[in-house]
Amino acid sequence: MTPINLESKRIADELDRAMQEYQAHPGGPRGISQRALAALSGVPQPTMPQVDKDAPKRDTHVKCPDCRELVRRDARVCKHCGCRLVPQ
Residue 71 scores a pLDDT above 90: yes
Same domain, 35 and 58: no
Please state, rounded to an integer, the average pLDDT across all residues of the chain: 77
Beta strands in the chain (DSSP E): 61-63, 70-72
CB atoms within 10 A of CB 38: 13
What's residue 47's pLDDT? Answer: 67
Distance CA 45, CA 32 (A): 16
Q: Which domain, by its residues, includes 75? A: 48-88
pLDDT on residue 68: 94
- Alpha-carbon distance 76 to 88, whole Å? 10
Residues 86 and 59 in one domain: yes
Residues 35 and 62 in one domain: no
User: pTM for the complete prediction?
Assistant: 0.41
Structure confidence at residue 15 (pLDDT): 80
Q: Is residue 55 within a helix (H) or strand (E), and if so which, with residue range?
A: none
Give the integer Cα–Cα distance in Å for 37 and 31. Answer: 11
